[in-house]
Chain A
Amino acid sequence: MRQDDLYINKIDWITIAIYAVLLLIGWFNIYAAVYDEQFPKSIFDLSINSGQQLVRIGVAVLIILLIMVADYRLFENLSWILYFLFLGFLIITPFIGKEVNGQTLSIGFGSLRIQPAEFAKFTTALALAKFMERPSFDLSQVKHQLQALAIIMLPVFFIMLQPDTGTAMVFSAFFIMFYREGMPQRYYVLGLTFIAISLLALGIENNLYLVVGVAAVIFLLIMIGKKKISRIISFAILGIVIIGYSYSLDYVVSKLPEHQQNRIMVLFNPDLDPLGAGWNVTQSKIAIGSGGFLGKGYLEGTQTKFDFVPEQHTDFIFCTLGEEFGWLGSLIVVTLFCALLVRLVMLAERQKNRFSRVYGYCVISILFFHFMINIAMTIGLFPVVGIPLPFFSYGGSSLWSFTILLFIFIKLDSHRIQLLGRMG
């Protein structure tokens, strides 16, 4: 009894409050996305998305209660079992799943279907936390780095088979957690440089400009530092590698399937094909951009409601918000997400054992990645990637998996005292 008191008092209600507010705003937006002025239906109507989503929210609340009453050691103990169970689901999905638009994402019966890839996010997080909890684990060792990477790449491999590039990309977010856990900084410097060069190589029409730019920078670096032969040679090699990479990137992109190629190209120039590959981004930007400062008012949006934006209630749900609540609405939601993430960093940092902290950072990594990439793609800052906006997007699997992901951490956090002293 005392123990219960102890942990109820330790529950972080701030996180739960932000979660609830985001969920509520999301639910209202799902209703707005399908609202038909001529045949208005109640937000509770089970024949429309908002009604169905309410049922899913109800299920999510049940899941939360189950997590909260469960033994806090359960998740840690079940980490590997859950990881391999969902890995199994991922393996069989392409064989027994339902194929939609060339993708096989879900398994199940009738209307009771789940997407294993969504749940693999938290099982992988648990497995990583469990693996990294060992006192001997050291991220500065290449061997350990590769082992941790293997835990991530295993599910990614099978998710790619479905194929679900978007969800697979989410797993790269774990590098945020690795960063906190001491992965050497040089990887991130290299990685960010790599991304920057990739963007430049794709964005700049003529690679000659890039070559001249890189050559100039290398030349400057050589001139500034000590003029040792070995240093000059290594910089020259670096320059050649960068230039070679950017040319090969263009070649690789040209060999990609056309729809993926288009997704990349419209990022740099959405007017390239406004009715084809650029349609989603163009319409999404029109919807959000037409919202103005205060928005058109709840249920007054025209772009999302009249189907101009595809996938408006799932991956493009942010359009409804941007159109009907304007920049002010966007400000509130972006601030809420940032607040949630910062709060989670604070919670992760107060964990007394490594398992909880690593798991906490996994939660941060995944939510941060989803939030950043989803909104960025709706406003044309990132190629269209089919990943949902946490707590907003319509759909059971994503809502439940985000809920489980988050509430396992809240549960662990509330027991941080009991978990004391197991710090690695």
Chain B
Amino acid sequence: MNEQRPITIIIAIILVGMVLLTKLFLIQVADDSFLKRAERNAIQRVVDHPYRGLVNDRNGNIMVYNNPIFDLMVIPKEFNIKDTVRFCEIFQISKEDLIEGYTAARKYSSVKPSPLIKQISTSEFAKIQDYLIDYPGLFVMTRAVRSYPQPSAANALGYIGEISATQLERDTVKYYRQGDYVGLSGIEGFYERDLRGVKGVKYKMVNVRGIDKGSFKGGEFDTASVAGKNLTSTIDIELQKYGEMLMEGKRGSVVAIEPKTGEILSMISAPSYDPNVLTGSKFSSNYLLLNRDESRPLFNRPIMAMYPPGSIFKIVQSLVGLQMGVLTPNTTYACNRSLVACHNHSSPVNLFGAIRNSCNPYYHQAYRAMINREVSSSTFKDTEIGLNAWREYVLKFGLGGPLGVDLFNEKGGSIPSSTLYDRVYGSGRWKYSTIYSLSIGQGEMLVTPLQMANLAAIFANKGYYYVPHLVKAIDGDPRRIPEKYRTKMDVGVESHHFDLVQDAMAEAIYGTAARAAIKDITIAGKTGTAQNPQGEDHSVFIAFAPKEDPKIAIAVYVENAGWGGRAAASTASLMIEKYLRGEITRPSLEEYVLAGKFM
């Protein structure tokens, strides 16, 4: 019986070997979860943050750059100083702060780095750089903070901040991580994908205590970060600064556009703030302050504030009338003030006179002719058809909806359609007498300052525009900006109709806005007054110049400054001169605007 036992023992040995090898096969070959867990254990993914792209103005002046700041880091286990007094002298730190910082670092980890002195400037860093080698366990970590050498164009440039939970959720490709900085508004927000660059990844090996043990596989899987693209803005920073100076202490907007390209030369929102306050560690507290400010400095008026266009809309009415064939240059109407109020001027007037004198009754009658074309026997139906047909013309002027500027949260204003009146009055229960305010740019009609500036550009271009935009080139290449900013938009009004309008606008300067006239530069402009039920009316003015070869189209809104001929026209005139001439020949006008006593 015992003779079989050695065989049994051999079988047992082989059986145990097979059981072990089977189990080993199961965990080593058949199951790759252990490999993943091993990588999670020992391989740390370190993100290499790219350098965010810079922003220059149209003349190559730097507007946004990255300012390096330095954090002095300490590894408590390696750190050891013999002469504390000397250390404090060199590093400009009090003994108490040193002890406190070191204790906090020690508490966190004795082998991992913690910040000892935060946010050291470049000049301070230069002073301590040479001493660092004498102190083991100390090293410097560099971070970049957005910086604005000209504290201006805050709302156009926007700001960057920590990514929000909702943005993280929407990021389906999982590019962002908690704590990443992203452009939240302005150019920073809109061009985030260009500015951010591409993150790099380094795989580091760490031991069980999290201590760096060198790069994984000699950096085989590491990728280098790619710096963000630099943007060339359409803004002329000198003009922008000048406009901001003129608007100081006031509320309102100035938008200047290069008519032939749609490039925004200036986009001023007053009051504004210094963009440098929304950077780095001060972001949260300063953002709260700005957000609570009653003057709403974070509200980007040029694209978000909406006002009735007022008299300026009469030019659009003239052009639509001409294109529809309802009006001709010779169409005359009496200045019948029983229809709507007007100011003193000769009567009757032709179209030219109507624009120059901003005659309200003329447009009341002309608009009726555009709306009630007698296509239906019912006056109600006729008005509805007429309004919607007319609206189609007006929308082509870039009104009634956002233009599509390269900023978030652009408002579109409103050009009412029959639906609106149906909702308010009921279908078939409203007619021309309900909607006649639209004839003179009042009533249920709203536009933004940007749309107004775009109107000026359309008048200057005699019938076309480019969607206004703030960036003209990405990495120096103008073809890399979105297609829509390079597409000519036709407003559907023949260009010869604009001749009369331009002439009348040039005349009007001398009638309603004499202050705006500049010697040797022909300005075509139109004043407006946006009615404000809450208080004083807003002063509005649009213009382009020089009339012969327009280089700048501008819209100015000064809130609560009354009639358009004073505050807005003066500001626009100064902006035009500054841009075309580079200097101001009328210091008294400048003083008048700066003083801000328009009433």
Residue contact A338 to B13, C-beta cutoff 8 Å: yes
Q: Which of A289, A303, A335, A345 has the most CB of B within 10 A?
A: A289
Residue contact B2 to A180, C-beta cutoff 8 Å: yes
**Given that A289-B35, A306-B42, A307-B208 are known contacts, is A326 also in contact with B23, CB under 8 Å in the complex?**
no
Chain A residues with Cβ under 8 A from B32's Cβ? 292
Residue contact A327 to B2, C-beta cutoff 8 Å: no
Residue contact B9 to A176, C-beta cutoff 8 Å: yes
Cβ distance B46 to chain A, nearest Cβ, rounded Å: 16
Cβ distance A8 to chain B, nearest Cβ, rounded Å: 27
Closest to B37 in A: A286
Chain A residues with Cβ under 8 A from B14's Cβ? 338, 342
25 CB-based A-B contacts, threshold 8 Å:
A36-B213, A38-B213, A180-B6, A182-B1, A283-B41, A285-B27, A285-B34, A286-B37, A288-B34, A293-B28, A302-B42, A302-B205, A307-B207, A308-B41, A322-B24, A326-B29, A327-B25, A327-B29, A330-B20, A334-B24, A337-B17, A368-B13, A372-B16, A376-B20, A381-B19
Residue contact A303 to B42, C-beta cutoff 8 Å: yes
Cβ distance B13 to chain A, nearest Cβ, rounded Å: 5
- Cα–Cα distance between A308 and B38 once the two chains are bound (Å): 9
Residues facing B in A364-414 (CB within 8 A) are 364, 368, 372, 375-376, 379, 381
Residue contact B28 to A345, C-beta cutoff 8 Å: no
A331 at interface by CB-CB < 8 Å: yes
- Cα–Cα distance between A293 and B30 once the two chains are bound (Å): 9
Chain B residues with Cβ under 8 A from A342's Cβ? 10, 13-14
Residue contact A335 to B9, C-beta cutoff 8 Å: no
What interface size band does chain B fall in?
Answer: 35 or more
Closest to B23 in A: A379
Chain A residues with Cβ under 8 A from B35's Cβ? 289-290, 292
Residue contact B41 to A303, C-beta cutoff 8 Å: yes
Residue contact A335 to B213, C-beta cutoff 8 Å: no
B304 at interface by CB-CB < 8 Å: no
- Cα–Cα distance between A348 and B6 once the two chains are bound (Å): 9
**Given that A38-B214, A307-B207, A345-B13 are known contacts, is A302 also in contact with B38, CB under 8 Å in the complex?**
yes
Residue contact A306 to B24, C-beta cutoff 8 Å: no
Cβ distance A380 to chain B, nearest Cβ, rounded Å: 8
- Cα–Cα distance between A408 and B20 once the two chains are bound (Å): 29
Residue contact A303 to B38, C-beta cutoff 8 Å: yes
A95 at interface by CB-CB < 8 Å: no
B343 at interface by CB-CB < 8 Å: no
Question: Of A289, A293, A364, A375, which contacts B34 at CB under 8 A?
Answer: A289
Closest to B28 in A: A327
A94 at interface by CB-CB < 8 Å: no
Contact with A along B186-216 (1 / 0, CB 8 A): 0000000000000000000111110001100
Residues facing B in A303-357 (CB within 8 A) are 303, 305-308, 322-323, 326-327, 330-331, 334-335, 337-338, 341-342, 345, 348-349
Residue contact A306 to B34, C-beta cutoff 8 Å: no
Residues facing B in A195-245 (CB within 8 A) are none
Chain B residues with Cβ under 8 A from A368's Cβ? 13, 16
Chain B residues with Cβ under 8 A from A182's Cβ? 1-2
Cβ distance A219 to chain B, nearest Cβ, rounded Å: 31
A32 at interface by CB-CB < 8 Å: no
- Cα–Cα distance between A182 and B19 once the two chains are bound (Å): 27
Chain B residues with Cβ under 8 A from A307's Cβ? 207-209
A179 at interface by CB-CB < 8 Å: yes
Closest to A331 in B: B21
A155 at interface by CB-CB < 8 Å: no
Residue contact A288 to B17, C-beta cutoff 8 Å: no
Closest to B41 in A: A308
Closest to B14 in A: A338
**Given that A338-B17, A368-B13 are known contacts, is A349 also in contact with B28, CB under 8 Å in the complex?**
no
Chain A residues with Cβ under 8 A from B8's Cβ? 179
Contact with B along A266-295 (1 / 0, CB 8 A): 000000000000000001011111111100
Chain A residues with Cβ under 8 A from B41's Cβ? 283, 286, 302-303, 306, 308
B597 at interface by CB-CB < 8 Å: no
- Cα–Cα distance between A286 and B37 once the two chains are bound (Å): 7
- Cα–Cα distance between A185 and B208 once the two chains are bound (Å): 49
Residues facing A in B417-461 (CB within 8 A) are none
Residue contact B27 to A379, C-beta cutoff 8 Å: yes
Residue contact B38 to A335, C-beta cutoff 8 Å: no
A5 at interface by CB-CB < 8 Å: no
Residue contact A292 to B29, C-beta cutoff 8 Å: yes
Q: List 17 other contacts, CB 8 Å, given A288-B27, A307-B209, A376-B20.
A: A38-B213, A180-B5, A180-B6, A180-B9, A287-B38, A288-B34, A290-B34, A292-B35, A302-B38, A308-B207, A323-B38, A326-B28, A330-B28, A334-B24, A345-B10, A364-B9, A372-B20
Residue contact A306 to B28, C-beta cutoff 8 Å: no
Cβ distance A69 to chain B, nearest Cβ, rounded Å: 31
Chain A residues with Cβ under 8 A from B10's Cβ? 342, 345
Chain B residues with Cβ under 8 A from A375's Cβ? 20
Cβ distance B431 to chain A, nearest Cβ, rounded Å: 79
Cβ distance A270 to chain B, nearest Cβ, rounded Å: 11
- Cα–Cα distance between A313 and B379 once the two chains are bound (Å): 99
Contact with A along B30-58 (1 / 0, CB 8 A): 01111101110111000000000000000
Residues facing B in A88-109 (CB within 8 A) are none
Closest to B43 in A: A302
Residue contact A349 to B6, C-beta cutoff 8 Å: yes
Chain B residues with Cβ under 8 A from A337's Cβ? 17
Cβ distance A9 to chain B, nearest Cβ, rounded Å: 25
- Cα–Cα distance between A68 and B534 once the two chains are bound (Å): 113
A4 at interface by CB-CB < 8 Å: no
**Given that A302-B205, A307-B208, A338-B17 are known contacts, is A288 also in contact with B29, CB under 8 Å in the complex?**
no
- Cα–Cα distance between A181 and B23 once the two chains are bound (Å): 32
Q: Which of B2, B8, B28, B29 has the most CB of A within 10 A?
A: B28
Cβ distance A189 to chain B, nearest Cβ, rounded Å: 13
- Cα–Cα distance between A381 and B42 once the two chains are bound (Å): 25
- Cα–Cα distance between A338 and B10 once the two chains are bound (Å): 9
Cβ distance A267 to chain B, nearest Cβ, rounded Å: 13
Q: Which of A36, A286, A368 has the most CB of B within 10 A?
A: A286
| Top 9 closest pairs, chain A to chain B, by CB | A289-B34, A290-B38, A306-B207, A302-B42, A289-B27, A338-B17, A307-B208, A327-B28, A290-B35
**Given that A180-B2, A338-B14 are known contacts, is A288 also in contact with B42, CB under 8 Å in the complex?**
no
Residue contact B207 to A334, C-beta cutoff 8 Å: no
Q: Which of B13, B33, B35, B39 has the most CB of A within 10 A?
A: B13
Residue contact A286 to B9, C-beta cutoff 8 Å: no
- Cα–Cα distance between A259 and B209 once the two chains are bound (Å): 23
Closest to B2 in A: A182
Chain A residues with Cβ under 8 A from B6's Cβ? 180, 345, 348-349
Question: Of B2, B27, B206, which contacts A306 at CB under 8 A?
Answer: B206
**Given that A286-B41, A306-B213 are known contacts, is A381 also in contact with B23, CB under 8 Å in the complex?**
yes
- Cα–Cα distance between A381 and B18 once the two chains are bound (Å): 13
Question: Of B20, B21, B34, B214, which contacts A286 at CB under 8 A?
Answer: B34
- Cα–Cα distance between A326 and B205 once the two chains are bound (Å): 20
Closest to A342 in B: B10
- Cα–Cα distance between A182 and B25 once the two chains are bound (Å): 36
